[in-house]
Every structure is written in structure tokens, then in C-alpha cells.
Structure 1
């Protein structure tokens, strides 16, 4: 019996022995089990968006890219997939980090080639309702938006065709694309569609402000005063003080899909949407961003020039720069009769910031369904 065992393993190269073979067999068993679990774990069916009624139903989902559970699953994997970059190290999640409400806490992001972008990374919260994307609104859909950073030479820097080819060599992706699109063909268009599906699910709707609106949170006196100032336009002749914020950030989602020149420069270095329209009145106009999770998304403005909310309030209170393209909402607004600037008091600024902190949604920045699936898998 001992000789027969010895002969059984005699043909194996590199002096393999029984313990090694057992380990190899066990390894293959684990891989097969993991693959079976992976295949079985893919959710399927129509994805149901969950959001408060006061957000409204004017959502933006194109007919040719309905949101499905399997599409969101694939989109989430692709959002965090570094193989979509030229150097295989950068994903969408690098510039849009969940802990910072899907920004990156930097004035400008570094691309695959090490060159910084020219504008600050915007938050991805509540894009389900948006119709214009980027600071200058140059993309009309999330699908179109996704393609731009993927291919920009100073961002992820890789053609969609190359990305599709690279993913085709990874065993996990063809079955996923088949689950979403009916066959396992991987294309740039399908990559963008899946990422867009995931991004539409990034809904932030459980801040203390939301809890207050549904009568589940009682704000402090400072928060209530800040909310009042935020939503009020100044009328000094009537003794009414306000910060006039709601003109641009009105509504429960705290943004209106408008483009404004908010007085950062007399001659803008970056013309914003004016570079696209060529209209003098559009110079220095940029998309109004959401204020949801604003306490987490510093630095602020399209060029990240303000490091803190205090600096932002100081700008709007006392340092709005006059120019021909300055938006009318910033002209002649003051808490003093005949004043040329808003003139908020230090206490009022503090109260407004207290309200802005109410917009932080802890569930949004910790939701495991929005996180990097590779990191979660490595912790198991």
C-alpha cells in the first residue's frame, strides 16, 4: 500500500506531494464556491427609487437605459473599477469619495497622467432629478457625463474602446453585462449606461433637515434662525434681515438648475457656461450645486478657492465683485438701507452655518450600497 501511494505521485513534477495536492484541490473548491456565490448574489429586477414625496417625481431616467437592480450592481462595480483608467489606478471613486459626499476634498483632482483638473469635483448627490451636468452644464445626461471623465486625457485618460477590451478579459464582467443587457458584449456605451444607473441611486434624503421636515427632529434655536435667514431676502426698509440664499438654493433639494455668476471675479479666468454659449451675459456663470452635505464637500466654488463655510459666507456677505455678467440676484441686495453688500452680522453667519450643518446626511456617506464593493469584499 505504501509503494502504491508512492507510485501514484511519482509522475508529478516539482516534487509535488499529497499535502500540496490537497491544498490545490481545496483552492479550486473555494474559487468555484466563490464564483457560484458571486453569480447567485447578483440582484435582478426593476430598481425602485426610494425618496421623500417632497423631492417630486420629475426624475430623469432615459427610456433606453431603464434602471435595474443588475444594472445598478454592475454600475457600482464599474464606478470603482481602476481598469477604466489608463494606468489602472484611478476610478470614478477616486474623485468622488463617499466619505466626502462623493467629492474628493481637494481644490482640483489629479488625473491618471498626474495633471490636475481645471475645476473642483462636484458632489453626486441627488442627480436623479438633474438635467444638466458639470459646472458648465455641457452634458445633458448622466450617460453623456460618464463618458467625459473616462476619456479625458487629464482624468481617467482612456478610450471607451480600450476600457471595453480590458474588461472583456476579466472573467467577472461578461456574465454581468449579459445579466444587464442580454448578451455578454462589452461596449463603451454599455459601460457609461451602467455607471449612470448606479449614480442615479445616490439619493441623499435623511439629514437632520429632512428629519425636521417630517417632524422627527427639533432644530436648535440657532439652526431655526439660520434656516429663516437662508430662506429670506433682505428688506431693510421693513426691518427684515435675510441671507437671500433661496434664490439659488431654494427647495428641499437645495438647488435650482440654474447658472449664476456669483461675483467671484470682475473678469473671470474661467467663463463657465459662457465658454459654450459665447454670450457676454454668461461669462463666469456656473451651475448652482446642491448644498446637501455641504459641510463635507470643502473646498468650495468651481475652483475650490474657499476652504471653509466661513469664507463662503464672508464672500456673499461682503465681497461679491461687481461685473457686467453678475447675476441680478446679487445686485443691490443688502441688510442695510442703501447698502452695496449683504452685510450679514457674525452671529447671522454662525446661524446660517448651523443650518447648513443640518444638511449632512450620515446615512448617505455610510450606506454600504454606495461603497466600493472591492473594499467590502476584502474585509470579509
Structure 2
């Protein structure tokens, strides 16, 4: 059968009028990295997008990720508590109590490992664990997937964020990780003190804050940084206020919780735990991996004269042999004044981090 040229032209014209399939084009998310912070490493397989962050924020507050629809990530990492938990141990589904204190979520984009024992190497890997954990959300990922797929809004949001209606744990973890990486805390009095002490230029608003720093706060800063003072800087320093390693900080002479040692099987790791950031420490009580200290005063007293010696005691705790750094009452007061400069009220009141539901 021969086709007339005119008929062929009509076919070509109709074909040309057909709409091209819509291409998945997420909007790149531009992180506002503070000038005194290092660059944040972003995984190549999980680039930051506006759509991914929005989805992750919604999922962070989603109680349907728990077996009985009562617990979300935010349940144990509440904004009003510095994205931490004020209970000694977090309570999971059906009242199940965990065995470690929930770590505060802050500046996670710079963390090199996760959980107190470092068993997760990436933020995405860490996010995968609480949902099926019987002591936490206790929901199998396949069931979580079904719940989300039955929600038309979530299907739409996953298409916008990842170009697919297929929902699985990998995409959920990627979205929440994107949201958590936006949660940057860098607007405290300490940030101004840090920049000034390191000869970094202050903005006009930062200079105004600098002028409010008290003599006691500067004295506490010097004490914190001094080997012959509080000797805190070995484990807590820089813009992030932490060192990326594990430490046995002299809580016990023997260990009911092996910490990192339970992961590695190496006895030299027994009783060591991830060193946390001190940012927003005013609002993240109780303290330590087991939440044994309810106040900052108790923490300071521990490092002052309650250090216990064990085979894996951190060698950086140079005054462990005498029970601690032996601060007097005035020095303790000065150190506490400095620790309170790390509070960033704008961090946990930021509407971009609040519940969107």
C-alpha cells in the first residue's frame, strides 16, 4: 500500500504535536554553610533537592512509620529539647524502653559515624535502623512501604523528590537524610566567640553579640581550652564542638555496656562511645550514653573529681590519675557560663525544621 505524501505529512504533524514525557527535574537545594564551618560532604547518590528535603521533613514527623502509629523520629528527637529526648531512655512502641540515651540531632552532615557505638557509617544507614527496631518503632519496612504507597500525597511527593511512585526504605532514608543535613546549628554566642578568637571577620550583627560576651564567659572559654584548666578541648573543639572519635571518659571502672567494643569485638574499645557535640547542651539533658547525669553541674563534677580508671580510659584525660581536673567552685561556675554560650535558640525554633503536617 502506498501512502500519499500529504497523508504522511499529517502523521508527522500529529506526532510533532504529541507532548514529550515529563522529565524528572528536581530543584537543587542550596545549603547555607556558615563561614567558619568546613564544607559539608554530600553523598553522590543522594544530592540535596528542595523536593527531597520537603519529603524528608514530612517523614521525620510521620507516626505511621511505627507499628501502632504513635511514634515518629521527632518523638525521641523533639525540637523543644534541642532535637533530643529528656527521658533517660527513650520509650518505643508498647512502652518498650531502650538502653541508651537518644543523641541530639545537630550538624549531622559533618558526622563520620552514627549511634553511640558507631555501628552506622552513613546518615542514610543510621535512619534505616530505628523503624524495624523492636525497642523503637517496631515496624517492618515492607509494611511501612505499603502504608506510604496507600497515601496519594506521599506517592506524589516521592515522584517529585525521586522521580518514582515506587516507595522503599532506601528512598525514605535518603529523604530524611536530606532534611537532617539542613539542620545546621551555628547561631550561638559561642560561634561569635570562636570566630573572634580565630581572627575571623564578624558581621555587624555578630559584633553586637560579641559586645555582650561577659568576662565570666570568656574566662570559662579560656578554662575550657586550657590543659591546666578544665582540659575539655581534646574531645570538644572547633566549630562543631566535637572530635570525630570514640572515648572512654571515665564513667565506670567496669562496663555493663561495652559501647564500641560490642561492635568491633576489640577489648581495647570496651567502654568507649562516640564523642557528642556540646552544641545546645543546655537543652539536651540528661547526659552521657546512659543518661546518668541530669544537670550540667553533675557533668562538670564528674570531670572535676569523679573520673574512674579502667584499662581503656582515654589517654587524653590527662588528670584521670587524680580523679579529674579538680576545679574549685568558682572555676565550675565559669565553665558552666561558657557551656551555656553554645545555646542556639534559632536552631530549635526554626520553622523550617518544624512539623509540616
Q: TM-score, normalised by structure 2?
A: 0.87
List gaps (5 residues or longer) in structure 1: 1-42, 235-241, 375-380
Question: In 2, distance between residues paired with 1:56 and 1:193?
Answer: 22
* Aligned partner (choices 347, 350, 353) of residue 367 of structure 1: 350
More helix by proportion, 1 or 2?
1
The residue aligned with 1:52 is 34
Question: In 2, distance between residues paired with 1:176 and 1:363?
Answer: 28
User: Structure 1 residues 169, 265: closer, same or farther in 2, change over 3 A?
Assistant: same
Aligned residues: 320
Correspondence 1:153-168 to 2 at 5 A: 153-168=134-149
* Aligned partner (choices 211, 222, 237) of residue 216 of structure 2: 222
Task: Give the CA deviation at 1:193.
Answer: 0.8
The residue aligned with 1:347 is 330
* Aligned partner (choices 210, 232, 238) of residue 245 of structure 1: 232
The residue aligned with 1:283 is 270
Correspondence 1:13-92 to 2 at 5 A: 45-57=27-39, 59-92=40-73
With CA pairs under 8 Å and 6+ residues apart, which has the higher RCO, 1 or 2?
Answer: 2
| C-alpha RMSD of the superposition | 1.4
**Residue 232 (1) aligns with residue 213 (2):** no
Question: In 1, distance between residues paired with 2:342 and 2:226?
Answer: 18
The residue aligned with 1:262 is 249
Question: In 1, distance between residues paired with 2:247 and 2:291?
Answer: 16
Question: In 1, distance between residues paired with 2:340 and 2:80?
Answer: 15
Deviations 1:66-92 (CA, angstroms, capped at 9, x unpaired):
110100000000000000000011000
The residue aligned with 1:356 is 339
**Residue 310 (1) aligns with residue 297 (2):** yes
User: Structure 1 residues 357, 187: closer, same or farther in 2, change over 3 A?
Assistant: same
Deviations 1:95-114 (CA, angstroms, capped at 9, x unpaired):
00011111011110000131
Q: TM-score, normalised by structure 1?
A: 0.82
Of 192-201 and 323-332, more deviation after overlay is shown by 323-332
Question: In 1, distance between residues paired with 2:112 and 2:310?
Answer: 28
**Residue 132 (1) aligns with residue 126 (2):** no
SS of structure 2 residue aligned to 1:55: coil
Is the CA contact 1:60–1:131 (under 8 Å) kept in the aligned structure 2?
A: no
